[in-house]
Structure 1
């Protein structure tokens, strides 16, 4: 935790209970700049807006990445608020006809098509508008794939075209008006923590696309290898080894067809998680049936990631000596479970975490909260006030 963040937290103590997200934009841009600088010549890094679509983050990222990956018309509006010419690629498993038309009207660079019906919808919209849509076919590969937190392919999911159905979709993409097939999209998993495993995954992509080119008589221009590079919330000192990954990446990409001009990454979590923190004031501490609880102002309606992934999210304690109440100040030490203010036992941010001392009135700061925190949360459950959002 930075001194600036701790200073901000202490400034807020004494008013309404502390409840805020803080984002360090300098830390963000330093991190992303270091990543993009090590990418091989053919590679592009797009930012997956679903991880965090706050306008200040998007404006900080726009000069550093190849563009934004979106998954809805609403995200397209946010991207266009940053700049009319910011490159945008459009994914997502259930695009509406209106969103497809919006994307074509607003100059989206490519659409990632996830089914035969969606391909026909793109064709119809492009023909009606008198334009040609560049598309990638997103394929749900057969696998097997490395172990990761979430799997999008290699098993039944709502994502992509079943590999067995690919011949028919390739044929349609070549015949339908208003559509130009330029390659494939192969995002298969999320939150992979192993650089070695991710390199093996990309090598598999290269071999697979080369095989498809021979089988279908294609010559791909673009291959999107997705995101999926993860963050280890359990061991903050053991993160994805990007430097090692980048060093070995050129040799892996040598297996991709030489004529492919662009290999796209679309990372979200790995780019922005570390720049964000979630600070909440402890309203009460108590023991219940042998378990010690810290009840905070906030919870999973604001920061749903721990509940969604069933992990204890890392935090540090900011001790606050000030205590103006005449009531006794409760405190605990040892294992503590951190819960929010919702009327459900599922509102848990961290479970059985050892603390030296924790009192009502102290503040907990959860690190690595910049991705899939506020964005995926059910903000208005119980109609609690929203947290403050601060951008350094």
Structure 2
């Protein structure tokens, strides 16, 4: 993969500084261009919210705020980050473990709506909204029976902590209709994560439509807002075979125009990875090259405590090697040549692996590996202080 010149320049600084290179870089111009293209293809009534859990760094949020319909948050901390960036941007609040303090904070911050995941949470929202003398718009998150298309993670269709079991929906709807201080305006149906098939994703949305139309008839309610979740993925194994967004939005336009009732005024997406992954790079210097039991290892500064995504999802993350010519030690410079390598970090565990059995032309200590598509669920989900190594730098380009 061709790297931005600015990222290559940062990587090549390895020979001019005392500490090994280790940084995240985020191409904000590329991010803006990507998200502008994605949102422009959405059909009428469809809105793109950004799921902040993927990457909640302030420069990223500031770049996205003018381009998306709002932010999707899952904690009081994320509510605060969203409001620090924009005091007026729409915010929708999900997650299975909202505390009473977070619900109150959300209402005080003027969130657009809450996605409620249990009957107890309904009672909590009702009590807090009533105490504050407010009416709170809510969606009920439902854990559907499925079946669903294949994806890296399943959020519904099996036992998970997310949403209200479909069989328990009658009781939850009755409570939502009767409880003071809340207004049921629709449903939240986020069922999977990292879907890579646009036809399968469209089939799932059609299933959502049939389910919600049935609930409207069964419970005598009107759905105004349908949140279809995120879940659109990144193919880390083959960067040339990504989710077909243009094909998807073309099919989505027909699906919405031909089959979604007109009173469903808003169909929300809440994507994270799909928006920010490609703008991010994780660069880490090779500290050593060695072979154990016929496996060649590149040992790097950094690892899963900084970039946990490959370990979490059990894949080899794609990288580009940037060669550097300077070598400051008065010793031989080991190298590997035209053989597969396994990239490991500096932690004292054999699970600290970023990539396995990847062919490289040549690799030496002092060279830098730049992992692409590192803009989502990289630094954010990592155990930063395990072994107390230095944190990586963060660069925002331009």
TM tier, shorter chain? over 0.9
User: Which residue of 284, 294, 303 maps to 1:299?
Assistant: 303
Cα distance in 1, alignment partners of residues 15 and 349 from structure 2: 27
Number of the residue aligned with 1:277:
281
User: Which residue of 4, 7, 15 maps to 2:6?
Assistant: 4
| CA apart distance, 1:4 | 1.7
- Give the TM-score normalised by structure 2: 0.98
Q: Does 1:116 align with 2:139?
A: no
Cα distance in 1, alignment partners of residues 15 and 238 from structure 2: 30
| CA apart distance, 1:264 | 0.3
| CA apart distance, 1:7 | 1.2
| CA apart distance, 1:12 | 4.6
Is the 1:329–1:359 contact (alpha carbons within 8 Å) kept by the matching residues of 2?
yes
Q: Deviations over 1:148-177 (max 9, x none)?
A: 000000000000000000000000001000
Cα distance in 2, alignment partners of residues 350 and 202 from structure 1: 34
Is the 2:296–2:340 contact (alpha carbons within 8 Å) kept by the matching residues of 1?
yes
- Structural mapping, 1:180-329, within 5 Å: 180-253=183-256, 254-329=258-333
| CA apart distance, 1:350 | 0.2
Cα distance in 1, alignment partners of residues 160 and 260 from structure 2: 26
Number of the residue aligned with 1:54:
57
SS at match of 2:50: strand
Number of the residue aligned with 2:368:
363
SS at match of 1:368: coil
| RMSD of aligned alpha carbons | 0.7
Number of the residue aligned with 1:64:
67
Cα distance in 2, alignment partners of residues 227 and 352 from structure 1: 32
Cα distance in 2, alignment partners of residues 298 and 39 from structure 1: 39
Cα distance in 2, alignment partners of residues 299 and 14 from structure 1: 22
SS at match of 1:370: coil
Cα distance in 2, alignment partners of residues 328 and 21 from structure 1: 30
Tell me whether 10-19 or 61-70 shows the greater mean CA deviation. Answer: 10-19
Cα distance in 2, alignment partners of residues 239 and 84 from structure 1: 35
| CA apart distance, 1:246 | 1.0
Cα distance in 2, alignment partners of residues 41 and 28 from structure 1: 23
Cα distance in 2, alignment partners of residues 385 and 67 from structure 1: 34
| CA apart distance, 1:9 | 1.4
User: Which residue of 122, 137, 141 maps to 1:138?
Assistant: 141
Number of the residue aligned with 1:391:
396
| CA apart distance, 1:256 | 2.0
- Give the TM-score normalised by structure 1: 0.99
- Structural mapping, 1:28-39, within 5 Å: 28-39=31-42
Is the 1:209–1:256 contact (alpha carbons within 8 Å) kept by the matching residues of 2?
no
